[in-house]
Amino acid sequence: MLAAFGAPIRRDGDRVSVTAAALRGHEVRVCGDISSAAFLLAAAAGMPGSELTIEHVGLNPTRTAFLDVPRALGAEVDVRQTGEDTGEPVGAVTVRGRRLRGVRIGGSLIPRVIDELPVLCVIATAAEGETVISDAAELRVKESDRIAVIARGLRALGGEVEERPDGLTVYSSRLHGGRVASAGDHRIAMAFAVAGLLAGGPVTVEGAESIAVSFPEFTRVLRDVVAQKGVHRKS
């Protein structure tokens, strides 16, 4: 981005140098955030027959590891780069819901999907078998203890979950409606909103106002996506 504004930048191996210079104006079109899009894409992945395309989303390879998980679970994921904005690759992501199967998530993948793990736990309830998440102790010290909060919330909705110090095991479960606490954590609140689409009854998320921290329009966008039948809510 600095280069687009005229800053002289020199790269030498793992070293980057920037020389002081006057910057010039530049038009920037801000692309969609893949971490925010993840909640909508995960919703589509969790429901067979659903299809959702999100356009003009950022595709920086350091941010797109999340897409590998729905793909491994069995969803169909297509990524199409359409260009670059201020040096960042952008494009369209399409997810088609298919029958899912449990997977193991751990090791070097965890730091690259740490923010998306709550919603991945939610859709893992729709997968056959078990999904094991390990090496994710960092979740304990996010905006909430996300391991404990997601486990407690899924159990409140009928999910079968085993909590461990560094992660969870999520078993195939038929979710029902209920009331869950988000602990004031925006990503937990959005994850349980997605659970409301998978559940057999209404889900009330306490503390959902926290969503405004990162995605103020989330509720409206999710409602619009469902209304357009990109995501088919279970009834």
* Global pTM exceeds 0.85: yes
Tens digit of each residue's pLDDT (9 = 90 or more) over 52-79: 999 999 999 999 999 999 999 999 999 9
Residue 54 · residue 42 · CB < 8 Å: no
Looking at 3.40.718.10, 3.65.10.10, 3.20.20.140, 2.60.120.260, the CATH number of the domain 31-226 comes to 3.65.10.10
Tens digit of each residue's pLDDT (9 = 90 or more) over 165-193: 999 999 999 999 999 999 999 999 999 99
Q: Which of 14, 115, 135, 166 is catalytic?
A: 115
Q: What's residue 232's pLDDT?
A: 57
Domain range summary for the chain, segments of one domain joined by +: 31-226
| Strand order across the beta sheet in which 130-133 lies | 104-105, 130-133, 167-171, 160-164
Q: What's residue 235's pLDDT?
A: 46
The number of CA neighbours under 13 Å toward the Cβ of 133 is: 35
Q: How far apart are alpha carbons 125 and 128 in whole angstroms?
A: 8
**Residue 115 a catalytic site member:** yes
pLDDT along the chain (235 residues), means of 10: 79 86 80 93 94 94 94 96 87 96 96 96 97 96 94 98 97 97 96 96 96 95 83 55
